Structure 1
Amino acid sequence: MRIGLVNSMPDGAMAASERQFRSLLQEALPGGELDLVLFELAGLERHPAIRAQMARRYQPAEAIADAGLDALVVTGAKPGRGSLRNAPFWPGFVRLVDQAVALRLPTLWSCLAAHAAVDHLDGIGRRALPQKHSGVFACAPVWSDPLLEGIDRVWGVPHSRLHDLAESDLRTHGYDILLRSPTVGVDTFVKRGEALFLFCQGHPEYDRDSLALEYRRDLNAYLQGQRPAAPAIPSGLLDPQTEAIWRERADWALAAGRVEPQAWPLGDAPGRIAPPWRPFAAGLYANWLRAGLQVPDATLPLAASPRAGEAGLSA
């Protein structure tokens, strides 16, 4: 299956993001061949060395029209403040959305890409949150839908975002809500038209330590004066004993003005070996590909159901 990935993540996260999406898509296609084609969006600031590396492996997003793709995944980007329509990447992003619509290309829009896509498609603006959503949160299906086939009643999804979309705005413009959290609101939603567009405000593609690494990055940014407030420890990620260790290290960092270089323990965090949300995420991706491409059920797997104690949920 030939799937495009538009990778707009910041330089420091770009390689990890590519690996995460590649791995998740491969899990959604067990026994199937994944041909992942890489694209970059115009208007994003890049270090010259990163741009040189991308030039050898990435194509401009405008090349999607002639790439013969079966489906497309679009990552988020570095979150900025204010309207996305003022972002340097906005013109290129608008062209990307219009291409996906014209090609009737099943597309998954991740995090900030989901916000930007609904802004362009229906004028739905994102809302700034008073505090960043960071953690693993319990998300439950809103209703029975083919895209949720095989997915259990509640599962934990990583979220890491500074903005939100109002559910009422999405419903008004014809979006179906698939998964919702009582804590962080809408998780996954869909719009069915000539192409199947799936939108994720969360990050089911994340590794087990992604939120931990982001927390350390945000804490370091605060200590360097790049954030107005110290970040909160990710919710629902750690067992109580490990969270106490993190609080001690955070207090030390705030007093010392620097973050200790050693890795912060995950303890009994969900996904100590492998993140428990991955089987669910692979099932969601498989259901999306199956529905978007209208392939037989036997071609792609159903989502796995969680075993007791593995969901890593946080209310």
Structure 2
Amino acid sequence: MPVVAHSQLPAFERLREEGHVVLDENRAVHQDIRELHIGLLNMMPDAALMATERQFIRLVSASNLIAQFHVHVFTLPSIPRGEKAQAYIEQYYESFETLKREGLDALILSGANPQAAHLSEEPFWEELTQVIDWANENVTTTMCSCLATHAVVEHLYGLKRQRLPEGKCWGVFSHTLAHPEHPLVSNLNTKFDTPHSRFNDISQEAFESKGLRVLVTSQQAGVHLAVSPDLFRWIFLQGHPEYDRASLLKEYKRDITRWHAGQYKTCPPIPYRMLDERLEPLLNDFAHRVADAKLNDSPMPELPEPLLWNGIHNTWGDTAKALFSNWIGKMYQVTHHERSIPFMEGIDPNDPLGLLGK
């Protein structure tokens, strides 16, 4: 259960302040508890870099297993960075080469802000596919978020994302279980919320055409959770269960600020079900004031965040914790005690959970 502060990454101290159990490395070495080493490839832009670390490490630390979790954060050198973010990465992040040499029990691939029309045109595509290929041979299980999901299914299965005709899938959507018997979702509520934030999509029909199993769907947002044909080695998320309560509001503030500055052609809509209905008029009024300021070349008005805060609720956090607990729990049961070896003896890599044929 405890996360081990095996580096000076500021996220560890922030999680301590939130009340999470974070062990010093000196204390951890004296505990007779199994270590699990989980990689986090953080591809998010500079402004979201640290928040993404905290979000995923928080979910890992909330797992109910008796184990010490070492989370190894790294990124791709080809992702453009500002001077401050690059200095932060050089100080706190690990290298992919080191992790390849030492091994990982599991891996999380974060989303990223798409810049190109096609994933293969992204500046980080070649480096990302190298990580995917290595993980496919050497890691027990990999959790993919949003753009990472689209990248993996394109690279491994030749399945390309499609641009959403209605624009951005953005907000908090209701979901249901398509296969409640799968161990990843076995103790989840049969109906629950999850945030989404994406311009692109892979449909349920497309996933299933390549033999991938869809576990969670939404009538409005489409597929949220799917798994590879072996049912465990690749976990695909199109939603964002890791999001904080304020994540969508921060995204909205970022996007409407960019629209005011002329970087976006259209004013962003209010994310679906982000707010209580009674507070949506307040945010609509703010959007109108931004539009007036843009038209008159006036400064950007201030977002009334203190007034909005009470109307924002996290309705997905417990489900996210349960999902990650299930994922790590199953990984714990099949991964080798040597982190450089993906499976213990007797485990079939093509059916690691022994579910096929049942």
User: What's the TM-score once normalised by structure 1's chain length?
Assistant: 0.88
The residue number in structure 1 matching 2:353 is: none
Take 1:137 and 1:194, find their aligned partners in 2: how far apart are those partners? 25
Alignment of 1:181-196 (within 5 A): 181-193=218-230, 196=233
| Contact preservation (8 Å) 1:24, 1:278 | no
56, 63, 73: which one aligns with 2:98: 63
| Contact preservation (8 Å) 2:145, 2:237 | yes
Take 1:54 and 1:93, find their aligned partners in 2: how far apart are those partners? 17
195, 202, 209: which one aligns with 2:246: 209
308, 325, 336: which one aligns with 1:286: 325
| Contact preservation (8 Å) 1:220, 1:259 | no
- Percent identity over the alignment is 33
The residue number in structure 2 matching 1:245 is: 282
Task: Return 285-294 or 236-245, whichever deviates more.
Answer: 285-294
| Contact preservation (8 Å) 1:24, 1:282 | yes
Distance 1:261 1:200, change over 3 A: same
136, 140, 143: which one aligns with 2:172: 136
Structure 1 position 295, deviation (Å): 5.8
Take 1:165 and 1:138, find their aligned partners in 2: how far apart are those partners? 18
Question: Which blocks of at least 5 consecutive residues in structure 1 are unaligned?
Answer: 297-315
The residue number in structure 2 matching 1:25 is: 60
Take 2:93 and 2:220, find their aligned partners in 1: how far apart are those partners? 37
Structure 1 position 225, deviation (Å): 1.5
**Runs of at least 4 residues off by over 6 Å:** none
| Contact preservation (8 Å) 1:104, 1:194 | no
The residue number in structure 2 matching 1:260 is: 302
Take 1:276 and 1:30, find their aligned partners in 2: how far apart are those partners? 24
Structure 1 position 192, deviation (Å): 4.2
Take 2:173 and 2:97, find their aligned partners in 1: how far apart are those partners? 36
Alignment of 1:153-192 (within 5 A): 153-192=190-229
1:81 aligns to 2:116 (yes or no): yes
The residue number in structure 1 matching 2:316 is: 277
Distance 1:194 1:186, change over 3 A: closer
The residue number in structure 2 matching 1:300 is: none
Take 1:88 and 1:81, find their aligned partners in 2: how far apart are those partners? 9
| Contact preservation (8 Å) 1:42, 1:61 | no
The residue number in structure 2 matching 1:95 is: 130
Structure 1 position 33, deviation (Å): 2.5
Take 2:169 and 2:202, find their aligned partners in 1: how far apart are those partners? 13
Distance 1:259 1:177, change over 3 A: farther
Take 2:279 and 2:68, find their aligned partners in 1: how far apart are those partners? 40
The residue number in structure 1 matching 2:147 is: 112
Secondary structure at the residue paired with 1:232?
A: coil
Take 2:230 and 2:334, find their aligned partners in 1: how far apart are those partners? 18
Structure 1 position 277, deviation (Å): 1.0
Q: How many residues align?
A: 292
Secondary structure at the residue paired with 2:251?
A: helix
Distance 1:227 1:46, change over 3 A: same
The residue number in structure 2 matching 1:48 is: 83
Aligned residue type for 1:254: A
Take 1:151 and 1:194, find their aligned partners in 2: how far apart are those partners? 17
| Contact preservation (8 Å) 2:226, 2:237 | yes
Distance 1:195 1:140, change over 3 A: closer
Distance 1:233 1:256, change over 3 A: same
| Contact preservation (8 Å) 1:62, 1:96 | no
Greater Rg over alpha carbons, structure: 2
Structure 1 position 195, deviation (Å): 6.1
Secondary structure at the residue paired with 1:135?
A: strand
Q: What's the CA shift string for 1:18-70, capped at 9, x where partnerless?
A: 01111111112465422111111131000122111111111232333223321
Take 1:195 and 1:205, find their aligned partners in 2: how far apart are those partners? 19
Task: Return 221-230 or 57-66, whichever deviates more.
Answer: 57-66
Please tell me the root mean square deviation across aligned C-alpha atoms, in Å.
Answer: 1.8
Structure 1 position 77, deviation (Å): 0.9
Take 1:254 and 1:202, find their aligned partners in 2: how far apart are those partners? 30
Secondary structure at the residue paired with 2:140?
A: coil
Take 1:252 and 1:169, find their aligned partners in 2: how far apart are those partners? 42
Aligned residue type for 2:284: R
